[in-house]
Structure 1
């Protein structure tokens, strides 16, 4: 049934903000991406722990670690990413701020890991960048 001129439509209070649908959907998608990136991290970690031949060996790289060390780094980071992603999907208040911090740490770790597996590192860096943007977008709107 169409609204006539005499029947008012839904009203908004002065406190209600227009929520950017990209940001609202982005937060949910960021939670999913963190969960997926966490699973990827666990897989990268297990691969590094299981075999020293999985990743390329670097001879003159500043951030050269033993492959087992990279395996532990990715395994622990993957567990943290997955946990925070799950928290975001459940709507936990602690998860959004923690998500930004852990995604930033993941971004730096994957940048350092870039020579070992460039494709996976670039994929993880792109995921982390989007997660940081999505989790910060709605909070910035309140400041502006």
Structure 2
């Protein structure tokens, strides 16, 4: 799920950097950035999500903690992006919440069975 969320964030970032007409802009928003800045933010978060998702898949010790942190950062950035494209940001926030739930809910099993 993290690699999917990361890939989708990268696609959103590319659209923002390319100054696509997909997004609406309003200067009356508290977290206002230009679309290029939002594109770079989404690109960076997407790359981090993919890297941590691969870490979780490879069962690395840092994968779950870094993945939970990356999903939380993605959730916050998607929340801040809601005024620009709510039809995209709200499902992505749901996906990030599912990632957070999955990574933090279930206990970590070790090879010794504890």
TM-score normalised to the size of structure 1?
Answer: 0.72
Find out whether 1:47 has 2:15 as its counterpart.
yes
d(CA) in 1 for partners of 2:22 and 2:36? 11
Listed as ranges, the gaps of 5+ residues in structure 2 are: 109-114
Give 1 or 2 for the bigger CA radius of gyration. Answer: 1
Which runs of structure 2 are paired with 1:63-142 in the superposition (5 Å)? 63-139=31-107
RMSD of aligned Cα (Å): 1.3
| Runs (4+) off by over 4 Å | none
| Secondary structure of residue in 2 paired with 1:139 | coil
Identify unmatched segments of 5+ residues in structure 1.
1-32
Structure 1 residue 58 displacement after superposition: 1.1
Q: Distance in 2 between matches of 1:116 and 1:77?
A: 17
With normalisation by structure 2, the TM-score equals 0.90
Aligned-partner Cα distance in 2 for 1:96–1:77? 16
